[in-house]
Each structure stands twice: as structure tokens, then as C-alpha cells.
Structure 1
Amino acid sequence: MSELLKLENQLCHRFYTLSNAFTRAYRPLLRELDITYPQYVTLMALWETNNITIAELLERTAIDGGAMTLILKKLEDKQFLSIKKDESDKRVKRVVLTSKGIEQKQVAENVPKQMLCKLQGMSQEESIQLRHLLDKLSGCFDNSSD
């Protein structure tokens, strides 16, 4: 069998299993907020900068537009945010945190701390190095054409 086709040699499979592991690790931490990981990512972007356009939110989170529509609907149903037409251009929609969405930031502040406890086998330097390598790898895909 070709070494190229061995599962143990596939970088993509490691990312797949790691992605699933992260999702499983976040699930109990986000239960108190009653949100999913993609909803958490969306809220983190809004906690950084509230009242942004949907286009800006898509750019910040790198979440697919169709998925974002569903995420925003769920978060709106849970009263974390509202979607309003832009004052200067009615075609543009803005995402604005509600008072509940703003208040939940305090609850969410414990989530990164709890995740750090799960990563105790990795030093801070390794974590920073890994983040840089992942950004570099992501850039490889950003620069490639379909």
C-alpha cells in the first residue's frame, strides 16, 4: 500500500479528530450558556465589537454564510442578539447584542480558563507556536485557488 494513502500519515485526519475533540470538550462548558460552539464563536466576535454588519461578522468568524444565518436565528430566538437594518443603508443588516447577550459575557469568561485546564500538557510557548503554525497553514489554503 502506498505510504501516501495510509491514514496515520494524513494531516487532515488529525485535524478532523482534533476538531471533534474540541467540540466535545466545549460542549459541557457551554451548557450553562445554552449555546453551541459556533454560537459561542459568533458571540465572542460580538463581545469584541458589538453592532457590526453580518458581512463583518462572517469575515471575523470565518463561518459559512448559510450556517451563520442559522446561528443568528438561534441566538435571536434565545434573545442574545437582534438583527436590525442599518440606518444609512436599509439593505445592510447589523447584529446587535441584547442586554442578555451582553450579560452572558461574564458567564462566558470562565470558558477559556476551563479549556486551559484541559491543555495542561502543552506549555504556553508551545501553544503560541501552534497558533502561529495553524495560522500559517490556514494562509496556505487562503492563497490557493479552487
Structure 2
Amino acid sequence: MLSTLLFAALIAGPAMVPQDSGQGEGPPKRVRSILVYGDEQCPKAESPDEIVVCANAGESPYRIPKRFRDQPKEGPTSNAWTNRVESVEQFNRAGLPNSCSPVGTGGQTGCTRAAIRQWYQERLDQKAKAARATAP
């Protein structure tokens, strides 16, 4: 009997708590999110049921952000030394054996190797594409 009364009191307890009768009856009826640029001021709320959220988006909507302005220059001076050496070696291989070049006496001998290398790379690309397609 006592446990039944205790159980009923616990269930009815939260129902007897008085509700807060403050002005916060619920969420605001309107929320505006605005991006401002430069020295623009955030506009004021038009009514008490409105919230205005402003974010400064930089100097101008048409200006390139600073992180993209000073990109490294591309050219021979910014190219790594190993890349330069590899391109010179590849250029100078024309006509040598295993180079797959129409110039020189041994240039044609590397064409089979180049075709096999290309086939193998295409096969790897197809396997990678199939794996991406089946991945969740």
C-alpha cells in the first residue's frame, strides 16, 4: 500500500510543478543571418520577435581572399631540381635503346615496354575506380 502511494506521488510530482509564466513563450518567429563587408553596420531587428545574426565576411564580396592572393609562381625557378633532371634525361633518351622513339637505331625497342606500362596503369586505374564504386 505504501509503495503504491509513493509510486503515485512520484508520477504526479512533475505534473504539479508550476509553469514559468515569463515572456519566453517559445523560439523567435524570425531569424535573419546576414553577411556584412568592410565597415557595414549590422541592421537592427525590426520587431522584438526577430533575431539578427551578422558575420563579417571580409573587405569586399568581389575581392580575392588573402590566402589565395599570393600563390607561388610556376616556372623553371619554382620547379624542383629532381624534376628538371628527369625531364632532361627523358629528352636525351630519344634514339637510345628502350626509348620508344622513331629517331635512332634502337629507339623502337622500348615501345613494347611503354605499351605494357600503360596497360598496367590503366588496369590499376580500373581496379581503383571499381573499388570506389563498391565502397559505401
TM-score, normalized by the shorter chain, greater than 0.5? no
TM-score range normalised by the length of the shorter chain: under 0.3
Q: Which has the higher helix share?
A: 1
TM-score (norm 1): 0.26
Greater RCO between the two (CA within 8 Å, min separation 6)? 1
- Larger-gyration structure (1/2): 2
